[in-house]
Amino acid sequence: MLRVLVVDDSAFMRKALVRMIESDSDLKVIGQGRNGEDAVKLAAELKPDVITMDIEMPVMDGLTALTRIMAETPTPVLMCSSLTTQGSRDALKALRLGALDFIAKDASYVSIHIDAIRDDLIGKIKAVGRQKLKPTPKGPAFEAPEKTIAGFAPDQFELILIGSSTGGPPVLEHILSNLPPDMAAPIVVAQHMPNIFTKSMSERLDSLCAVTVVHGEHGMPLYPGTVYIGQGGKHVHVARTPGGRWSLQIDDEPAGALYKPSVDELFRSGARTAGARCLAIVLTGMGADGLLGARELKAKGGIVLAQDEATSVVYGMPRAVAREGLADASLPPTGIITHLTALRGAPASGAPMRTSA
């Protein structure tokens, strides 16, 4: 039984969250708070397994409370964020401050999408509630031993694909901000989160990174030294034009996929179009999205790297790939950076260079 503390200044939202959480027999709400001060106090008194906490609250806001909780009573926290540009920026900041994930909410959205939100909320509470809090992806704990990966040749890759979910944004930021601008291949990312959040994330990453980071649009040409963040709520695929150039496809197919963007769909498109010239990376996340795509990619001779258990917030997606023997190596973020920074300089044969207009 996981014990949950719910903190929100809206009585309607508290009631809705409690009802959704307690619809699962494995979860129990042990306390409720109305502001950040309540959150800090109740976290210390009740020692919950998980806290769900709003960002915008009176007296003390959620970001301030989160900082206090991480310093005084470290506890897995899920932030509740509004579906606005500012809400998305605050949610991403919360992840950098130590929150493990977030759920998007507002009163009308909850009323209309109650079943989807309930499933998302319960799944995330169970995923983060069973995790030990781990350090932010930097520092000695994330140093990687030197490893040699069979078949890893720096000049072989035309595409780099990254799949990420719970706990992924801070790891993505750490990895991408340490890459040089002259990467020899384009990088395409499928991160599980709504569209307004992927847009805010791409804008922040572009301000931090030496590589160019953009929010992917349908039909965009893919260039070395550029990172393309897939839109939330849609699938992202890579395609090859009749002239042999790489481009991005953003669409809704297949419609029945559990996640959009789907890591499986991204990896499958890489397997079909690039095969052995594709490098795929599976970062922290719950579930097994990426497993089927990694299987197809390996069958075509591609290379797959997985984040290791010690540094994954949720060792679900990387575990699924590693358990089936599909990961050529399981590495901490620093180890992934080491291998990616080897892929700099002239593009692999067939990869287009960016040309000025």
Catalytic residues: 165, 192, 289
The pair of three-digit structure tokens given for residue 262, joined into one six-digit string: 């789907």
Ranges assigned E (strand) in the chain: 2-7, 27-33, 50-54, 77-81, 101-104, 159-164, 187-191, 212-215, 226-229, 235-240, 246-251, 278-282, 303-307, 329-331
* Rounded distance between C-alpha atoms, residue 182 and residue 344, angstroms: 5
For residue 261, whether the previous peptide bond is cis, meaning omega lies within 30 degrees of 0, is: yes
Strand, helix or coil at 60?
coil
Give the Cβ contact number of residue 294 at 10 Å: 31
Chain centroid to CA 140: 22
Residue 357 to residues 18, 67, 225, 354: CA-CA distances in angstroms?
Answer: 56, 46, 17, 9
As a dihedral over the C-alpha atoms of residue 235, residue 240, residue 245, residue 249, rounded to 10 degrees, the angle is: -20
CA atoms within 13 A on the CB side of 81: 26
CA atoms within 13 A on the CB side of 14: 15
Encoded amino acid at 168, one letter: G
